[in-house]
Structure 1
Amino acid sequence: MPKATQNVQSVQRAVEILEFVSDAPRTQTEVAEHINVHRSTALRLLETLTEGGLTRRNERGQYSVGYRLAGLAAHALDQFSLRNLAHESLEQLRASCGHTIHLAELTGNRIVYADKIDPIRSVRLYSQIGQTVPFHTSGVAKAILAFQPPTFVDDVLAGYEFTIHTPNTLPDAQSLKSQLDEIRTRGWAVDDAEFEDFINCVAAPVRDSSSRVVAAVSITALKAKANLEQLEELIPELLATTETISKELGWRP
């Protein structure tokens, strides 16, 4: 194999490793099996990544994301214009309602969290910036999908696994598309304890200068702190926030 091709393959494997260990600490054997290489090859890649600070090895011999990579990611967040434009509005919404605020963005055929504002005095939710959002259980994902072309929705749902997390989880594409129709009509979405049975949220879309929905904002809370009916009372504030962000992106009513 030519050296240039080997280098590209090594980079691809390194990316796979970083994605794999970002979910949870992994052993050398688990990494080797995941990227389908011999344990010695996995070890060589892991040692290189660890030397560069991109991964780290704990006392149990497991590898996870390194502090240098976390620092690079934190600095890189400043380069994302949507997050920069929206952050102040998200802070204001959090100050007003007191709950967790998420900003999610459509990136290719994925939806990821672009920003998150935690409440000052409350339990912090597990969601993380950069995390991929499931299509069928998330308010922000449904708020975005509802306004995409039908062909796009069909494409992203082709082969999509509708994992059941709670009794309220949507079980298939037909039920999701039915809910997307409702969202399109009323202009906002909900997560009614569909991923975790103790968390709910309301979400609304964000548009760019071409009126295309490119993101969504949600207000998320533990049900013990605010049930869905109470969150729905905050929808006027949520819609005002998404309108402000949309205008920052160049959208005009």
Structure 2
Amino acid sequence: MSKTLILDIDNTLIEAMKELQPRSEAALRRWLAAGHRLVFASGKNACAFDDLIALLKMREGWHIASNGGILAEPSTGRFERLACVGARSQRCMDVMDQLGIPYFAYTLDEIVINRPMPQAQIDHLEFLKDPRVVLRDAVDPRAVVKLLMFINAADEETPRRLRQALQPETMGLQLIRTSGELLEIHDQHQTKAVGVRALANKLHLDVNDLYAVGDSENDMSMLEIVGHPYIVANASQTLKDRGWPQLASCREEGVADLIDTLLAD
């Protein structure tokens, strides 16, 4: 029976700022060769999947992008907007400008900044194969999928000030940490669970039959609804506290171990 495996990318399948390792690449190839389905579920924009899809020669398939904001089929160029910040981003950008908080505005095909940003941050996003970062005076708020800020997890004051000034919940928005460096503004319904349910409906799959692996808080909604949730050994303590099955190894080694186990069943 064909299985569906849903994988977070950064720090689950691939260590941030690194390339896919040979063992995990080989495991993914075996998984696909056995006739199973592989789905990426990431905070990245859909174009960030292109290199992985080309490397693994995945000719078709839907993937979950922008933390559930977008359902994408890169092989055909089709996209479905599920939940995006949209026009509300104007208020968010105004508040962040007033507070002096630098941000990146994600659209479907680019990341817009309205001021010079540290090159290390731009390099980080472009290395992760996110859309090209462009400097522009303004962006159409309706085109914004999400907003991203580089704010270290140790900095609790900046998110507090932003939350107090913005009151995101009153706008149907949420502040969510997607890594130790990144804080994002999403639609309240922009979760990986929304993407998983949309994918399951489209492909006529039972969510109880799905396998998923994650490492961070933005993976929690996805892990809560699938029948077979797993976390890698380097997962955040918040995920470990939930008691989900924990793989013995970190990142790609843990994913490769899981694939070996599932293929042996």
User: Shared topology, TM-score over 0.5?
Assistant: no
Mark the structure with the bigger radius of gyration.
1
Higher relative contact order (CA 8 A, sep 6+): 2
Choose between structure 1 and 2: higher helix proportion. 1
TM-score calculated relative to the size of structure 2: 0.29
TM-score calculated relative to the size of structure 1: 0.30
